[in-house]
Amino acid sequence: MSEPAAPSSPSSPTSRRRRLALAGVSLVAAAALAGLGASWASGSRLSELPKGPVLAKAIERGTLVVGVRRYPRPAPPEAPTPPEPDGFDATLARELARSLNLKLELVGLDVAAQEAALREGRVDLLVAGVPTTAAPKGIDAAPGSYDTGSGLVVALRKGRVQDAEALRGASVCVGEGSGYAGAVSLRFGAEPHSYPSSVHAVSAFMAGECTALAEDAEVLERLLKNDEWRFYKPLASGLRPPSDAAIRLPQGDAASRDYLAAALRQWRADGTLAQARGARAGNLQFEITLLKDGFICHS
């Protein structure tokens, strides 16, 4: 085994570039979220709706506690970063808290811990993508999806898979909580391989761990314009997740469930979801560009 590379001196140009790039990730995300917050008006119509026990408890506490996905951002090999909340999930959780005039507490959860956290009352709600299994007893979901984009599948231009029909049995990289995992399985008979985040899925795909990659079309269309993506091509478009990325809550609270469903409808109508997806695409593109600069995805 080769020896790990020695860390760059704090004053070296490489170290300075890395610090600036990492700071850029936070600045891009913060700017995107600030812009969204300024442009979204918390719906007065939502404030008039009744809140059931779940939301009433949060109102009494003064804080909405939301479980979200988390993952470590790309970082230098010698300086891994701890997992942080997914920006897309956090944006929607923040908008929910704003609509209720509450503070927000985000709880980053690995997929295996999400349902237990909700059942045990450690979080009020889950905003964590598409669940891997049908909702178990004790967990409900507000009708509607907050991740409504169209998906795209890409592969190597000169790889063994040259058309969508050849995807049967092929491995496809997807991010945790992605509805496109179910889409490629049902539509093409492909075998989705889940990674901690979309940027991890992209990293794994570019490293050759999967034959293809499935992701939001807006994200991949941006990436395919980059010179380093000239070796890849679209295979299939128009993917629609067969399952909703639903806001989950404890079972038996119809009023809170209806409030969350109304929030989703309003976000679709007023452009909130479209803006959140656009911000997500921009942030992912930035994180993925770091991979070619020598940063890696620590799992």
Crossing angle of the two packed helices 254-270 and 272-291, in degrees rounded to 10: 80
Residue type, 138: G
What pLDDT is recorded for position 135? 66
How far apart are the C-alpha atoms of 296 and 280, rounded to whole Å?
19
CA proximity to 26, closest of 71, 73, 63: 73
What pLDDT is recorded for position 210? 97
How far apart are the C-alpha atoms of 156 and 208, rounded to whole Å?
10
CA proximity to 174, closest of 144, 120, 214: 214
Which residue has tokens 């496109």? 180
What is the helix, strand, coil percentage profile of the chain, to 5?
A: 45, 20, 35
User: Which tokens hold the place of 2?
Assistant: 């080769």
How far apart are the C-alpha atoms of 297 and 289, rounded to whole Å?
12
Q: How many helices (H) and strands (E) does the chain have?
A: 10, 12
What pLDDT is recorded for position 283? 93
Opening angle at CA 290, ends 160 and 199, nearest 5: 55
Q: Are strands 84-85 and 139-141 parallel, antiparallel or unpaired?
A: unpaired
Q: Which residues of 261-277 are buried (b: 16+ CB within 10 A; e: fewer)?
A: bbbbebbeeeebbebbb
Q: Collapse the DSSP code of 17 into the 3-class scheme (helix H, G, I; strand E, B; otherwise coil) and give the result.
A: helix
Which residue has tokens 């993952």? 71
How far apart are the C-alpha atoms of 211 and 264, rounded to whole Å?
35
Residue type, 151: G
Burial of 79 (0-12, 13-18, 19+ CB in 10 A): middle
Strand positions, DSSP E, the chain: 63-68, 70-71, 84-85, 103-108, 125-127, 139-141, 151-156, 171-175, 191-195, 212-216, 232-239, 248-250
What pLDDT is recorded for position 28? 45
Summarize pLDDT for 165-186 with one digit per residue, the tens.
999 999 999 999 999 999 999 9
What pLDDT is recorded for position 47? 83
Residue type, 47: S
Which residue has tokens 């998906």? 151
pLDDT (tens digit, 0 to 9) for every residue of the chain, 299 residues total?
A: 433 334 444 444 444 444 444 444 444 444 444 444 433 334 448 888 999 999 999 999 999 999 999 999 998 888 888 999 999 999 999 999 999 999 999 999 999 999 999 999 999 999 999 987 776 788 999 999 999 889 999 999 999 999 999 999 999 999 999 999 999 999 999 999 999 999 999 999 999 999 999 999 999 999 999 998 999 999 999 999 999 999 999 999 999 999 999 999 999 999 999 999 999 999 999 998 888 877 888 76
CB 215 within 8 A of CB 177: no
Helix (H), strand (E) at residue 236: strand 232-239
Residue 264: partners with Cβ closer than 8 Å, 6 or more residues away: 142, 143, 144, 145, 146, 247, 273
